[in-house]
């Protein structure tokens, strides 16, 4: 949801978005403007925003795990139902009904004014698409982003759904985006850095001629919908916050077929590609363990 846009264009003398402690002009400014990574920055202590819980307790992790399983089950249910002729409004109703039937709440509903229970982002919509009476037709690709709140804990994930036969470009974009998520998850281990995740995703996406959205990022989650740290899907290895056991966050690369830039529609939520190109996204909530990573929404 909209709380976590990546701060990709701070002022030259503002602190860099990566948490290095350096001014933006001395750190990632050049890389952000050219699409290339900036030189590595030294690590400094990371300041949490109020309410963020960086390291989760075992009890919190179990609560997040249960919420994440419900989110996974909802996405599985939609695999059986999302097809040509379905409206995004129907998808919203299915998500709402299944969520409340299991004693949970759809996290997006009324979050900062968002009017629906799920985000449905079709074709050129990058994220935060609002369900409506739009009918899905053959050739569409749609991201469905589900977050469940169960017993006060959050589980956040999204998937792509292809409607009938899609274009070769759409099929490749969806596949590469799924691979980007897998590669990002592979970087999660104690002793690694947030920048390792973004570097792997950026290299794979750009290696296939696609671009990585800068304006929205992954984020800490579990006790609150959005927590620290932010997880950019671009960057350089060895930069950003260190990965520590007990951290829970989302990885959710948004990959565009064309330009990486986006614009927000008049509804204040829907983000679309500036050039009308297709966009795809996959997302999981992950836990840094003592030895590696657990994908909580798998």
**Which string of DSSP letters, residue by residue, matches 85-144?**
T-BHHHHHHHHHHHHHHTT-EETTTTGGG--SSSEEEETTEEE-PPP-SPBP-TT-EEEE
Select the more confidently predicted residue: 200 or 47: 200
Residue 23 pLDDT > 70, yes or no?
no
Residue 135: beta bridge partners?
87
85-94 per-position pLDDT tens digit: 999 999 999 9
d(CA 43, CA 269): 34
What pLDDT does residue 31 have?
52
- Domain 53-295 adopts which CATH fold? Creatine Amidinohydrolase (3.90.230)
What pLDDT does residue 34 have?
47
202-215 per-position pLDDT tens digit: 999 999 999 999 99
Phi, psi of 112, deg, nearest 5? 55, 30
Residue 36 pLDDT > 50, yes or no?
no
Domain boundaries, the chain: 53-295
201-253 per-position pLDDT tens digit: 999 999 999 999 999 999 999 999 999 999 999 999 999 999 999 999 999 99
What pLDDT does residue 8 have?
47
Quick one: 178 exposed, middle or buried, by C-beta within 10 A (0-12, 13-18, 19+)?
A: middle
> What is the pLDDT of the chain when averaged over all its residues?
90
Is-cis flag, bond preceding 37, omega within 30? Answer: no
């Amino acid at each position: 949801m909209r709380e976590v846009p990546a701060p990709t264009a701070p002022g030259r003398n503002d602190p860099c978005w990566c948490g290095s402690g350096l001014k933006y002009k001395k750190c990632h400014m050049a890389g952000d403007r050219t699409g290339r990574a900036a030189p590595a920055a030294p690590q400094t202590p990371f300041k949490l925003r109020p309410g963020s819980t960086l390291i989760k307790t075992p009890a919190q992790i179990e609560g997040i795990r249960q919420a994440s399983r419900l989110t996974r089950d909802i996405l599985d249910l939609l695999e059986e139902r999302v097809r040509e002729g379905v409206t995004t409004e129907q998808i919203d109703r299915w998500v709402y009904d299944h969520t409340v039937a299991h004693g949970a709440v759809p996290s997006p509903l009324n979050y900062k004014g968002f009017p629906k229970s799920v985000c449905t982002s079709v074709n050129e919509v990058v994220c935060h698409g609002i369900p409506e009476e739009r009918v899905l037709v053959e050739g569409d690709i749609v991201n469905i982003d589900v977050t469940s709140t169960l017993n006060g804990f959050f589980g956040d994930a999204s998937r792509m759904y292809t409607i009938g036969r899609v274009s070769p470009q759409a099929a490749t974009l969806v596949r590469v985006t799924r691979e980007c998520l897998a590669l990002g998850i592979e970087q999660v281990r104690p002793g690694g850095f947030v920048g390792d995740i973004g570097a792997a995703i950026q290299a794979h996406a750009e290696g296939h001629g696609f671009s990585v959205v800068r304006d929205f990022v992954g984020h800490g989650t579990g006790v609150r919908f959005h927590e620290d740290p932010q997880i950019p899907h671009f960057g350089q290895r060895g930069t950003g916050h260190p990965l520590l056991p007990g951290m829970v966050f989302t990885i959710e690369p948004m990959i565009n077929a064309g330009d990486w830039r986006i614009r927000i529609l008049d509804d204040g939520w829907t983000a679309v590609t500036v050039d009308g190109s297709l966009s795809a996204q996959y997302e999981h909530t992950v836990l840094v363990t003592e030895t590696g990573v657990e994908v909580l929404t798998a």
